[in-house]
Structure 1
Amino acid sequence: MLKTLIVVTFALALSSCGFHLRGNLPLSQFPAIYVQSEAHSELAKLVSKRLSQNNVQLLSSMQADAPSIQLVSDTLERRTLSLFPSGQVAEYELIYKVSYYVIMPGAEPAFNQFELYRDYQDDPNQALAKARELDLLLSELRQQAANRIIRQLARLE
């Protein structure tokens, strides 16, 4: 009896604090949304996919009574962290910068930006493998950026 009471109390406390599993965010305040970006933007595709997974209808054009996300830019920069004794770059820091607006009906556009960081070890002797690793890191950074945009949307009222 005591174990059941503890489990029920824990479940009630957990549900009352607003806890949700990742990927299942409460986006009920956004029944439909428009995502605007540059043509062929990988980040826009990922954001649209995440919105669809959360049961948000994607609009094909901007509407005055529906919110929109305008992806301004997503850029990747590299900063040298260390060098080999020969002077070649041994390690980079990758900086993925994302800037976007959230435009709610009847409100001023809200500008948001953030940066994601990763370290990347370069090896000129394995250029093909390192190029593939860089592509995978960039894909991972885009996925994290899309998830972060969705989490920030979920916090809006």
Structure 2
Amino acid sequence: MRIMSRLLLSLTMLATLSGCGFQLRGDYQLPPNLDSMALHSKVSKELASQMEQRLVHSGINVVESGNSYQLALLSDKLERRTLSLFESGQVAEYELLYQVNYQLLKDDQVLVERTAEVARDYQDDPNFALAKTREREMLVNEMRAEASRIILQQIVSELSQ
């Protein structure tokens, strides 16, 4: 009896979740014509690698060329702005801004030309310079992953219209 009630509860929860349209984050409904894409990059290898992994994970075949869509990563830029200072005048907090300019092409015609932006706050402490440098590197890698997610989300949104 106890097993039956647990099974019934599990089925009810599953039906409720599927009925409300719940989807895992990063799980996109790809348009039917977006089965393959060529990736051309003039930016950092790290961002190109993140973008390729994101495409493959989403079910898009990354090809060298052909009649498929072409994603051109044109430029990326990391800026650092001061947000606050310590009483001594040293920087206490930075804002990191990461921008990626890209184009989506089909048959050498530009379909989408946009910029993806990611911003993060970063607290600095000169007493822990080595640890803070490593933390900043990890934060920049996270920002690249977020930028690749935003790019794919914008492309899927544009092609689904």
**Are 2:45 and 1:58 equivalent residues in the alignment?**
no
- 1:22 maps onto 2:41 in alignment: no
Residue 133 of structure 1, aligned match among 128, 132, 135: 135
Question: Quick one: distance in 1 between partners of 2:91 and 2:44?
Answer: 31
Identical columns (%): 39
* Gap change, CA 1:91 and 1:32, over 3 Å in 2: same
TM-score by length of 2: 0.80
Q: Which moved more, 1:35-44 or 1:48-57?
A: 35-44
Deviation at 1:99, TM superposition (A): 0.9
How many residue pairs match? The answer is 150
SS at match of 1:108: strand
CA distance in 2, matches of 1:106, 1:117: 32
Per-residue deviation, 1:153:
2.0
Taking a change above 3 Å as real, the CA distance of residues 106 and 96 of structure 1, as seen in their structure-2 partners, is closer
Q: Is the 8 A contact 2:92 2:123 kept in 1?
A: yes
Provide the alpha-carbon RMSD of the alignment. 2.5
Unaligned runs of 5+ in 1: none
Letter in 2 for 1:36: H
Residue 40 of structure 1 and its aligned partner are, at CA, apart by: 5.0
Deviations 1:53-100 (A, max 9, x none): 122111123x3x211111011111010111112211111111111110
TM-score of the two chains, using structure 1 as the length reference: 0.82
Question: How has the CA–CA distance of structure 1 residues 106 and 115 changed in structure 2, closer, same or farther, with 3 Å as cutoff?
Answer: closer
Q: Name the SS for the 1:95 alignment partner.
A: strand
Pick from 70, 73, 76 the counterpart of residue 74 of structure 1.
Answer: 76
- What is the CA deviation profile of residues 11-43 of structure 1, one whole-angstrom value per residue up to 9, with x for unaligned ones? 6753xx6x5322321224311101110265211
* Residue 40 to residue 77, structure 1, CA distance change in 2 (3 Å): closer
Match of 1:122 among 121, 124, 127: 124
For the residue of structure 2 that corresponds to 1:130, the secondary structure is helix
